[in-house]
Structure 1
Amino acid sequence: MAASEKPHDDAREIQRLNILSGARSVFARKGWSATMADIAEAANVSQGLAYRYFPSKEAIYAELLDRASHLEAFENVRTMGGSAMDKLRYLINELLDINDTHIELFRLSVLTLHDDALPAALRAELEEQTEAFRSLLQSLIAEGQQTGVIAPGNPQQLLVALLAFLNGLCIMGIQGSENAKRHFPDADIVLRILQPPANS
């Protein structure tokens, strides 16, 4: 590649990432009903320019799913040391960072998973990713129960409770008031629902 082509390629990649960022934000707020016009507006580009980079919103969503499957936080938690509670704390802190991409990716998956309009191929990929995330959380809950750092009980029920908590916080983090965002809870508060009773 000629040296003169590299700045052009860099600019294209920056614009491509800008469109993906806008799409991530819009999908997190509107779900699958988001349109290419919405995405272009969020990215502050014309629809024509958005279509030059991506042929459809399906293509954009597919790339967002691919990027979500390779998030560094999920890779790190599988290899890091520490207790199950340490791993959950790290993962949830990353997920609930309202200044990061994780919270929007989590929210868009929740909004679109049960949308009948979502194309079958994208639904299958999303269901696979969702199940992998649920399995990761469930394995950490079970590991924590074995070592006594997580309360005894049905791990599936604890998982459902944790996911409901996280989903509610994701909605608040994206759509809540500025006051709510200023007082957004951290992972230690969330994880209290999993801690054993003080007298156990």
Structure 2
Amino acid sequence: MDAAREVFARRGFGATLDEVAEFAGLGVGTVYRHFPNKSAVINALFEESVERIVELARTAAAAGDPWQGFVGFMVDVAELQTSDRGLRDLMLTAEGGCERSELLRDRLRPVLRPMVERAKAQGALRPDFSDQDFPVLQLMLSAAYEFTGIVAPEAWRRYLTLMIDALCTRREAPCPLPQPPLDEAGIEHAMRAWPTTKRL
């Protein structure tokens, strides 16, 4: 599982069980004795990912400052997604399976919805925001990472900050952006690479 986690984080759903076996220093037959096919490995990794994300949500929901808890959860999930291609595939693409996406939402909703309501009641989160907006924002951020990552791997933090500023109702001045914008050459490079790296 450690090998599978690492290989799928690097390669996403394009990885094979042969690659997992090679990374683990095992024969592929050993992998097949534990998992009948790649889908079984993905299911096991998905279960781990769901637990990890739900635990992050529980921690964020228990924060003393509801807004900071909400922001912390946004950042934590974004960091997971941008560092783990397999997790992005599991969470945000049809290849992960509608059932998996629904399971994640069903497990996350009872924690995420109160977190959102607390931040709204505090007056920090815009009142028209819904917990149903969260997966769309994550999809937007993941797309930004896919586009900019080959040129500026940390540029996604700029766009996350812009998102968070758009959601906050009580900030008098915008947060400083943690990364510079892509220059013209960077955008051109990203656009040339985008058709070959785009998977969403």
Q: TM-score normalised to the size of structure 2?
A: 0.63
After superposition, what is the alpha-carbon deviation per residue over 1:44-64, rounded to whole angstroms, capped at 9, x for unaligned?
876445424422112111111
Distance 1:99 1:43, change over 3 A: farther
Aligned match of 1:87: 69
After superposition, what is the alpha-carbon deviation per residue over 1:139-186, rounded to whole angstroms, capped at 9, x for unaligned?
322222211111122x33x742x4323212224435643333132316
2:40 matches 1:59:
yes
Aligned match of 2:108: 133
Q: Of 162, 168, 193, which aligns to 1:195?
A: 168
2:12 matches 1:17:
no
Distance 1:133 1:81, change over 3 A: same
Alpha-carbon shift at residue 192 of structure 1 (Å): 1.4
2:185 matches 1:185:
no
Distance 1:99 1:136, change over 3 A: closer
In structure 2, how many angstroms separate the alpha carbons of the residues matched to 1:169 and 1:95?
A: 10
SS of the equivalent of 2:169 reads coil
Alpha-carbon shift at residue 103 of structure 1 (Å): 6.8
In structure 2, how many angstroms separate the alpha carbons of the residues matched to 1:50 and 1:68?
A: 20
2:59 matches 1:76:
yes
Counterpart amino acid of residue 5 in structure 2: L
In structure 2, how many angstroms separate the alpha carbons of the residues matched to 1:137 and 1:106?
A: 19
Instruction: Return 5+ residue gaps in structure 2 as ranges.
Output: 173-200
Give 1:10-49 correspondences, 5 Å limit. Answer: 16-27=1-12, 30=14, 35-37=16-18, 47-49=28-30
Give 1:116-195 correspondences, 5 Å limit. Answer: 118=97, 123-153=98-128, 155-156=129-130, 159-160=132-133, 162-173=134-145, 176-185=148-157, 187-195=160-168
- Larger RCO (CA within 8 A; separation ≥ 6): 1
Task: Assess if the C-alpha contact under 8 Å between 2:9 and 2:85 holds in 1.
Answer: no
In structure 1, how many angstroms separate the alpha carbons of the residues matched to 2:123 and 2:37?
A: 49
Q: Of 108, 120, 123, which aligns to 2:90?
A: 108
Distance 1:35 1:76, change over 3 A: same
SS of the equivalent of 1:180 reads coil
Task: Assess if the C-alpha contact under 8 Å between 1:150 and 1:196 holds in 2.
Answer: yes
In structure 1, how many angstroms separate the alpha carbons of the residues matched to 2:105 and 2:81?
A: 22
Q: TM-score normalised to the size of structure 1?
A: 0.63
RMSD: 3.6
Alpha-carbon shift at residue 89 of structure 1 (Å): 1.5
Distance 1:165 1:38, change over 3 A: farther
In structure 2, how many angstroms separate the alpha carbons of the residues matched to 1:44 and 1:190?
A: 43
Identity %: 15
